[in-house]
Structure 1
């Protein structure tokens, strides 16, 4: 776990202490691979417990990364969900966000031999939002 993940998670744990979330519903039948499409495979994941999991996938045939934010808690009800990725050297943050029932994404970007920062945000049923971002990683 990188230092940036630890700092973001520490802030989330503090915020989570005051929140009581609705019970989790069954997750969507979608998988990160089916959301990103043919040729993508999972290369990393970050759990934003208990809200959901961010997946980073890579397609070796076209050099693209893909990020999906899959909800755990609150799946089946519309809450703010975001998947995001940024390529080192670019100021553009590519994202998909909105009121989703099961996942946000796919967010695809060409990042062959470039570091990426990826993750996103989940909100609970009260509207409180929790963010997790990686450090700059997966540079090759």
Structure 2
């Protein structure tokens, strides 16, 4: 339980740090979740499990480029979580567009996925399947999502 509390705090720190950084990301800042030039962070959301909210196994990042009207989503895995069963992310726009990037071979990140969404709401769903390095291979799937939001 204590480990989950620390992971929750770690995920909260990632979210806070990401929200503070509002300058457009570049390809050189890949490790902080860059979708490319002109994108700014709209939201960051930690994955959760059936037994623990905000496990920290991964964080969904949603970005927006106001110049192009495109949304971008990425899922990043925590360094202490082994994604043995892969990862996936799905971005949806309220006009019916869907973009998915998922594979059982992904180990560090899923995405980026891009969709044009100016004037529409977006939602994001993601998952990572694996285990914590110190958990004796107790495999599970953590999921999460950002409900319809960022409309306009």
Length-normalised TM-score, structure 2 = 0.64
Tell me if 1:94 matches 2:88: no
State whether residues 54 and 67 of structure 1, in contact with CA within 8 Å, keep that contact through their aligned partners in structure 2.
yes
Number of the residue aligned with 1:132 = 144
Structure 1 Cα separation of the partners of residues 71 and 95 of structure 2: 16
Structure 1's unaligned 5+ residue stretches are 1-15, 17-28
Higher relative contact order (Cα pairs below 8 Å, separated by 6+ residues)? 1
Alignment partner of 2:63 out of 54, 57, 66 = 57
Structure 2 Cα separation of the partners of residues 89 and 112 of structure 1: 10
Structure 1 Cα separation of the partners of residues 98 and 81 of structure 2: 26
Instruction: Please provide the CA RMSD for this pair.
Output: 2.0
Number of the residue aligned with 1:111 = 117
Number of the residue aligned with 1:84 = 90
Tell me if 1:31 matches 2:32: yes
Q: Secondary structure of the residue that 2:147 maps to in structure 1?
A: coil
Length-normalised TM-score, structure 1 = 0.69
Q: Shift in Å at residue 78 of structure 1?
A: 4.7
Number of the residue aligned with 1:47 = 46
Structure 1 Cα separation of the partners of residues 85 and 63 of structure 2: 24
In the alignment of these two chains, the number of paired residues is: 109
State whether residues 69 and 119 of structure 1, in contact with CA within 8 Å, keep that contact through their aligned partners in structure 2.
no
State whether residues 53 and 71 of structure 1, in contact with CA within 8 Å, keep that contact through their aligned partners in structure 2.
yes
